[in-house]
């Protein structure tokens, strides 16, 4: 019987539709013991015996693929796959899949929650009251403010719809145009620098790639409107944290709402920790109760489909393995 290793902490040892899909599909489901994200030392002993990985925040390097001689598929619960060396996966004939269309609404809700928390001083006022104070200083509304969305995929679009409901002006920057969507929701497309200059809130909705890593640096932040806010629910590696901390401490930026960081959990030396104008959440934007179930079930179904010789093309990020891919020993 083939085995599938359950990586995500929120799924390990938990019941759910994903487990039924895998069991009925003919898999032995293995729940390893480990940290929130399995470390290399926790993951590696399982790899020689694993046929499929239902993945969360595990990092898969070329060295780990060398260990995984039976591995046929890595099915990510989510749409980001920057922790997986896709080239190494392809070289070892391992299909890598994601779960598109399952968590964009959840991320959009978290994005708006961060924007509203920053605008309405929700966290700051809560801290003051718990400390015995009572500060009724006036806050700025979000209505009429400009939101710049860097990235207009499913998540960016879902955020745009919600922002328009709050009567925000919405700008967008993306290489792929969608005139019908833009016309329906009155979205203005701008070059990146122009968007950054005009926005009261800049929200990141990009994958982490070699080209996007560290894109929010000192130059980017200096281009932002004085007194504006940065929101990141995408990937921590998009932001140079030391540069952001300087912009926040200087007062050039009014605040930041971050669901993701360069290192998670953050290391003690993270320059953003303790800053009063930063709101942090623990990389939960994409994982509410509904989206987690949807991601897990689609990832599980992808594994079963591949095992039963059905090619889930919409989910596969390295389709080049499909030319001669089959469920059987890899090329490791």
Report the alpha-carbon angle 269-274-278, nearest 5: 110
Q: Catalytic pick from 109, 188, 198, 264?
A: 264
| Helix orientation angle between 104-120 and 122-130, rounded to the nearest 10 degrees | 60
Within 10 angstroms of residue 58's Cβ, the number of other Cβ atoms is: 23
Q: Is 104 left (phi over 0), alpha (psi -120 to 50) or beta?
A: alpha
**264 catalytically annotated:** yes
Which is catalytic among the residues 104, 169, 283, 297? 283
Is the bond preceding residue 187 a cis peptide, omega within 30 degrees?
no
Q: Are 25 and 308 in contact (CB under 8 A)?
A: yes
Active-site residue 235, yes or no? yes
Tokens 């009014």 correspond to 254
The gap between the terminal CA atoms of the chain, to the nearest Å, is 20
283 tagged catalytic? yes
Q: Tokens 């959840």 belong to which residue?
A: 106
Which entry of 235, 241, 262, 297 is annotated as an active-site residue?
235
Return the active site residues.
235, 264, 283
């Amino acid at each position: 019987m083939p085995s599938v290793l359950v990586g995500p902490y929120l799924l390990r040892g938990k019941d759910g539709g994903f487990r039924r899909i895998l069991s009925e599909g003919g898999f032995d489901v293995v729940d390893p013991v480990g940290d929130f994200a399995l470390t290399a030392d926790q993951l590696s002993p399982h790899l020689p015996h694993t046929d499929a990985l239902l993945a969360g925040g595990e990092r898969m390097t070329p060295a780990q693929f060398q260990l995984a001689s039976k591995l046929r598929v890595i099915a990510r619960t989510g749409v980001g796959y920057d922790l997986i060396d896709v080239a190494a996966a392809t070289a070892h004939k391992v299909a890598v899949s994601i779960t598109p269309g399952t968590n964009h609404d959840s991320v959009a809700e978290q994005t708006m929650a961060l924007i509203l928390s920053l605008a309405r001083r929700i966290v700051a006022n809560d801290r003051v009251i718990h400390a015995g104070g009572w500060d009724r200083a006036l806050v700025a509304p979000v209505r009429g403010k400009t939101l710049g969305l860097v990235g207009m995929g499913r998540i960016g679009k879902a955020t745009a719809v919600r922002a328009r409901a709050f009567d925000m002006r919405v700008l967008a920057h993306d290489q792929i145009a969608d005139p019908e969507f833009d016309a329906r929701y009155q979205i203005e497309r701008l070059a990146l620098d122009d968007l950054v200059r005009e926005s009261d809130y800049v929200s990141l909705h990009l994958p982490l790639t070699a080209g996007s890593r560290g894109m929010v640096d000192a130059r980017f932040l200096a281009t932002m409107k004085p007194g504006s806010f940065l929101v990141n629910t995408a990937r921590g590696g998009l932001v140079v944290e030391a540069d952001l901390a300087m912009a926040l401490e200087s007062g050039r930026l009014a605040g930041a709402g971050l669901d993701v960081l360069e290192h998670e959990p953050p290391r003690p030396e993270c320059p953003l920790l303790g800053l009063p104008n930063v709101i942090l959440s623990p990389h939960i934007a994409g994982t509410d109760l509904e989206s987690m179930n949807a991601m897990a079930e689609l990832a599980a179904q992808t594994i079963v489909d591949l095992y039963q010789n059905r090619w889930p093309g919409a989910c596969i990020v390295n389709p080049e393995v499909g030319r001669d891919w089959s469920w059987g020993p890899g090329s490791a």
